[in-house]
């Protein structure tokens, strides 16, 4: 039996709906024999390239959005506490993710969960390189190695490339999930993704 | 037993996700003992007031959006054919709706369904006053009376007032559904609305 193509999960670590999907996508993939490629990108850079404004920064919608983030989390049964500092930069954890990913995919996955949960359940400032580093250490990485790794040009280039690739794929918001070339935007598309996986497209 | 408050369904006749909700909201309300107030408004005017751009006019997203309109319709089992002329103005059917509604609520509801389906399954140009009128006649209204009615200042004022009221409620996109003061934006919130109705809030 040929292995099915993995789901592609593009996200930003400070996107609430990305966090919600991060708590569900692996189980959803596994149920249908799919692995999931996790790809943190910088939504701010994507929106800048497109000349748009990320939902997280659309202040006219922030009242509704904050309510919807929390309500959507309750609907899905996922813990959520809207961070006091929101939104913040996600460069530090995204770079750290790719440095870890080059060395140990499983550790990088564990790290990504730790970052999301630190921000969206404990309100920790994941934009702070020291926090991003502490979380890598909590995931079992060596502090000195990660600290040096976060500064490597290769890691910076990788994050830029993944962000460019996401734009090329059509991504304009987060999360962006691709199933066999079909793109889905948002945590609210999880039921459609599930049906797509069940039926092979509808 | 006290009658429960009706659901409030604010929409624009040329909004695809509004059309999808229009095909489900009455049955959903009835299942939970709720009537539904249908309120067509002008999303273009709302966005202008807020200084935003309706999703329907965000050309950078139009490729994804068109795909998602049709896919969401298939997901819900609702016929959908993306209109060739899109988006178009919805002033004519919205005014006609309120004129009918003042006289016969049931006919206005029937009319609203006819307008949505004419646009989203047959691609008819509902921005054309003659088409808006034909659909009113198909719903059983008198042609000459509706034709005169569409020009009444009271009808123009009513549409403007409903649009202003929607802004005051916080509406920035369509459809906008309010359940006991809780606002839901988008057809993809139907499952949350159902849970809200079942549980009285979660």
At B199 the pLDDT is 96
- Chain B residues in contact with A185 by the CB 8 A cut-off are 64, 68
Q: What is the ipTM of this complex?
A: 0.94
At A198 the pLDDT is 96
**Percentage, residues of chain B above pLDDT 70:** 99
- Chain A residues in contact with B189 by the CB 8 A cut-off are 188
Query: How far, rounded to the nearest angstrom, does the alpha carbon of residue B172 sit from its chain's CA centroid?
Result: 14
The CA-atom distances, in angstroms, between B67 and each of A127, A180, B73, B115 are: 35, 15, 10, 22
- State phi, psi for B8 to the nearest 5 degrees: -110, 125
Strand partners, B36: B7
Q: Which of A2, A25, A22 is CA-nearest to residue A12? A: A22
B170 contacts A71? CB cut-off 8 A: no
- Chain A residues in contact with B195 by the CB 8 A cut-off are 75
The rounded distance, in Å, linking the Cα atoms of B194 and B29 is 9
The rounded distance, in Å, linking the Cα atoms of A67 and B31 is 26
Give the closest-approach CA distance of A49 to chain B in angstroms. 11
The CA-atom distances, in angstroms, between B107 and each of A25, B161, B190 are: 45, 21, 25
Chain A residue with minimum CA distance to B61: A172
Asked if residues A8 and A180 have their Cβ atoms less than 8 Å apart, the reply is no
Strand, coil or helix: what is A38? strand
The rounded distance, in Å, linking the Cα atoms of A73 and A67 is 10
The answer, yes or no, to whether residue B50 has pLDDT greater than 60, is yes
A75 closest CB neighbour out of B63, B75, B195? B195
Asked if residues A50 and A174 have their Cβ atoms less than 8 Å apart, the reply is no
pLDDT tens for A9-40 read 999 999 999 999 999 999 999 999 999 999 99
Chain B residue with minimum CA distance to A47: B60
Q: Which of A199, A170, A118 is CA-nearest to residue A8? A: A170
At A1 the pLDDT is 54
Mutation target vs B (from A48, A53, A63, A64; most B CBs, 10 A cutoff): A64
Asked if residues B21 and B190 have their Cβ atoms less than 8 Å apart, the reply is yes
- Chain B residues in contact with A75 by the CB 8 A cut-off are 191-192, 195, 202
A172 contacts B61? CB cut-off 8 A: yes
B170 contacts A202? CB cut-off 8 A: no
The CA-atom distances, in angstroms, between B192 and each of A64, A67, B55, B168, B174 are: 15, 13, 22, 23, 16
Chain A residue with minimum CA distance to B186: A188
Q: Report residues of chain A scoring pLDDT below 70.
A: 1
At B79 the pLDDT is 98
At A132 the pLDDT is 98
Strand, coil or helix: what is B202? coil
A71 and chain B in contact, CB less than 8 A: yes
């Amino acid at each position: 039996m040929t292995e099915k193509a993995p789901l592609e999960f593009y996200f930003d670590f400070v996107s609430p709906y990305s966090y919600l999907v991060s708590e569900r996508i692996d189980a959803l993939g596994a149920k249908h024999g799919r692995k999931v490629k996790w790809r943190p990108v910088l939504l701010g850079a994507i929106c800048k390239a497109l000349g748009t404004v990320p939902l997280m920064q659309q202040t006219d919608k922030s009242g509704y959005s904050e309510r919807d983030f929390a309500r959507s989390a309750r609907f899905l049964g996922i813990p959520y506490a809207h961070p006091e500092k929101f939104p913040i930069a996600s460069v530090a954890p995204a770079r750290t993710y790719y440095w870890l990913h080059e060395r140990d995919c499983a550790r990088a996955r564990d790290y990504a969960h730790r970052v999301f949960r630190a921000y969206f359940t404990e309100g920790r400032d994941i934009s702070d390189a020291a926090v991003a580093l502490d979380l890598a250490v909590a995931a079992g990485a060596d502090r000195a190695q990660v600290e040096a790794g976060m500064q490597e040009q290769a890691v910076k280039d990788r994050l830029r490339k993944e962000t460019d690739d996401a734009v090329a794929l059509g991504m304009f918001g987060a999360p962006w999930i691709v199933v066999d070339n079909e793109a889905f935007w948002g945590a609210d598309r999880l039921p459609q993704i599930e049906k797509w996986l069940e039926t092979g497209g509808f």
